[in-house]
Amino acid sequence: MAFPRTKNSVLPGFGLTMGYTVLYLSLIVLLPLGALVIKSATLGWAGFWAAAWNTRVVASYKLTFGTSLIAATINAVFGLMVAWTLVRYTLPGKKFIDALIDLPFALPTAVSGIALTAVYAKNGWIGQYLDAIGIKAAFSPLGIVIALTFIGLPFVVRTLQPAIEEIDRESEEAAASLGATRWQTFWRVIFPSVLPALLTGFALSFARALGEYGSVVFISGNMPMKTEIASLLIITKLEQYDYAGATAIATMMLAASFVILFAINAVQWWTARKYRGVA
Amino acid sequence: MVDGTEVSGGRMSVTVQSLPGAIPKGSLVETNLAGRLRLATDERSWVKALLITSTLVFLTLVLFVPLAAIFAEALRKGVAVYFASFTDAHALSAIRLTLLVAIICVPLNLVFGLAASWAIAKFQFPGKSMLITLIDLPFAVSPVISGLIFVLLFGLRGWLGPWLDSYHIQIIFAVPGVILATLFVTFPFVAREVIPLMQEQGSDEELAAVSLGASGWQTFWRVTLPNVKWALLYGVILCNARAMGEFGAVNVVSGHVRGKTNTLPLHVEILYNEYNFAAAFAVASLLALLALITLALKSAVEWRVRREFEQALEPPT
Amino acid sequence: MNPMEKSLGSLLLLAFAATMGCNAQSSVTSSSASVGSSPASVAKASASKPDGGAKPTVHLLNVSYDPTRELYAEFNKEFAKHWQANHGQEIVIDQSHGGSGAQARSVIDGLKADVVTLAIAYDIDQIAELTKGMPTNWQERLPNNSSPYRSTVVFLVRTGNPKGIKDWNDLVKPGIEVITSNPKTSGAGRLAYMAGWGFALQANNNDEAKAKEYISALYKNVPVLDSGARGSTTTFVQRGIGDVLLAWENEALLAIKELGKEKVEMVVPSMSILAEPPVAVVDKYAEANGTTEVAKAYVEYLYTPAGQKIAAKHYYRPTKPEDVDPAVLKQFPELKLFTVKDVFSSWKDANDKHFKEGGVFDSIYAPQPK
| Chain-chain contact of B67 with A153 (C-beta, under 8 angstroms) | no
Instruction: Give the range of the structural domain holding residue B38, as residue numbers without chain letter.
Output: 31-74
- Specify if B1 maps to a domain: no
- CATH class of this structure's domain C150-275+334-365: alpha beta
Q: Which of B74, B101, B128 is the last residue of a domain?
A: B74
Closest Cβ opposite residue C182 in set A124, A222, A237 = A222
| Chain-chain contact of A211 with B234 (C-beta, under 8 angstroms) | no
Question: What confidence tens digit (pLDDT) does each residue in A36-94 have?
Answer: 999 998 888 898 998 888 888 999 999 999 999 999 999 999 999 999 999 988 888 88
Kindly tell me if the per-residue pLDDT of C10 is higher than 90: no
Instruction: List alpha helices for C167-248, DSSP H.
Output: 168-171, 187-203, 208-220, 229-237
Q: In A, which residues are within 8 Å of B134 by CB distance?
A: 25, 29-30
Of C168, C245, C251, the C-alpha closest to C204 is C168
Whether residues B52 and B90 share a domain: the answer is no
Whether residues B156 and B180 share a domain: the answer is yes
Closest Cβ opposite residue C8 in set B161, B174, B305 = B305
Q: In A, which residues are within 8 Å of B150 by CB distance?
A: 32
- Specify if B54 maps to a domain: yes
Q: In B, which residues are within 8 Å of C13 by CB distance?
A: 221, 225
Question: What confidence tens digit (pLDDT) does each residue in C293-303 have?
Answer: 999 999 999 99
Q: Return residues 141-170 of B near C (CB < 8 Å).
A: 151, 154-158, 161, 165, 168-170
Q: Which of B49, B74, B99 is the last residue of a domain?
A: B74
Higher pLDDT, A211 or C201: C201
Give the Å distances, CA to CA, from A36 to A42, A188, B161: 10, 46, 15
pLDDT confidence band for B315 (50 / 70 / 90):
low
Give the Å distances, CA to CA, from C264 to A114, C167, C177, C252: 21, 17, 15, 9
- Specify if B227 maps to a domain: yes
Query: Residue C107, CB half-sphere, CA atoms under 13 Å: how many?
Result: 39
How far, in Å, CA of A34 to CA of A44, rounded? 16
Kindly tell me if the per-residue pLDDT of A263 is higher than 90: no
- Specify if B251 maps to a domain: yes
Contact B63, A104 (CB under 8 A): yes
Residue C112 sits at the chain A interface (C-beta within 8 Å): no
| Chain-chain contact of B229 with C34 (C-beta, under 8 angstroms) | no
Kindly tell me if the per-residue pLDDT of C261 is higher than 70: yes
What is the pLDDT at residue B39?
60
Contact B207, A10 (CB under 8 A): yes
Q: Could you tell me the domains of chain A?
A: 8-276 (1.10.3720.10)
Helix (H) or strand (E) holding A257: helix A243-276
Kindly tell me if the per-residue pLDDT of C11 is higher than 50: no
To the nearest whole Å, the CA of B308 is away from the closest chain A CA by 20
What is the pLDDT at residue A262?
87
To the nearest whole Å, the CA of B273 is away from the closest chain C CA by 6
Q: In C, which residues are within 8 Å of A245 by CB distance?
A: 357
pLDDT confidence band for B34 (50 / 70 / 90):
very low
Q: Residue A166 is which amino acid? A: E
What is the pLDDT at residue C156?
95
Question: What confidence tens digit (pLDDT) does each residue in B58-77 have?
Answer: 999 888 998 888 888 889 88
How far, in Å, CA of C99 to CA of C68, rounded? 11
Instruction: Write down how long chain B is.
Output: 317
Pick from B55-59, B263-267, C224-228: least confident: C224-228
What is the pLDDT at residue C1?
36
- Specify if B16 maps to a domain: no
Whether residues B51 and B170 share a domain: the answer is no
How far, in Å, CA of A126 to CA of A128, rounded? 6
Identify from A219, A241, A243, A247 which residue to disrupt to test chain C contact, counting C C-beta atoms within 10 A and taking the largest count.
A241
Kindly tell me if the per-residue pLDDT of B21 is higher than 70: no
Q: State the DSSP code for C181.
A: E
Kindly tell me if the per-residue pLDDT of B15 is higher than 50: no
Per-domain residue ranges of chain C: 58-147+277-303, 150-275+334-365
Identify from B256, B267, B269, B271 which residue to disrupt to test chain C contact, counting C C-beta atoms within 10 A and taking the largest count.
B256
What is the pLDDT at residue B317?
52
- Specify if B141 maps to a domain: yes
Whether residues B173 and B52 share a domain: the answer is no
Whether residues B217 and B307 share a domain: the answer is yes
How far, in Å, CA of C347 to CA of C356, rounded? 12
Architecture of the domain defined by C58-147+277-303: 3-Layer(aba) Sandwich (3.40)
What is the pLDDT at residue A275?
60
Record the pTM: 0.82
Q: Return residues 253-272 of B near C (CB < 8 Å).
A: 255-261, 270, 272
- Specify if B308 maps to a domain: yes
Of B275, B246, B292, the C-alpha closest to B97 is B246
The total number of structural domains in chain B stands at 2
Whether residues B46 and B189 share a domain: the answer is no
Give the count of beta carbons closer than 10 Å to the beta carbon of residue A231: 26
Question: What confidence tens digit (pLDDT) does each residue in B102-116 have?
Answer: 999 999 999 999 999
Kindly tell me if the per-residue pLDDT of C52 is higher than 50: no
- Specify if B12 maps to a domain: no
> Which CATH number covers residue B208?
1.10.3720.10
Whether residues B158 and B44 share a domain: the answer is no
What is the pLDDT at residue B314?
67
ipTM here: 0.84
Whether residues B168 and B52 share a domain: the answer is no
How far, in Å, CA of C198 to CA of A109, rounded? 38
- A→C contacts (Cβ < 8 Å), by residue, are 51, 55-56, 117-118, 121-124, 138-139, 217-218, 221-225, 232, 235-242, 245
How far, in Å, CA of C234 to CA of A269, rounded? 47
The three state secondary structure string of B203-227 is: CHHHHHHHHCCCCHHHHHHHHHHHH
Whether residues B258 and B149 share a domain: the answer is yes
Closest Cβ opposite residue B272 in set A4, A104, A114 = A114
Pick from A49-63, A166-180, B261-275, C175-189: least confident: A166-180
Q: State the DSSP code for C280.
A: E
Closest Cβ opposite residue A123 in set C99, C231, C239 = C239
B256: left (phi over 0), alpha (psi -120 to 50) or beta: left
Higher pLDDT, B168 or B17: B168
Whether residues B84 and B67 share a domain: the answer is no
What is the pLDDT at residue C90?
94
Q: Which of B74, B89, B104 is the last residue of a domain?
A: B74
Whether residues B54 and B105 share a domain: the answer is no
Whether residues B133 and B237 share a domain: the answer is yes
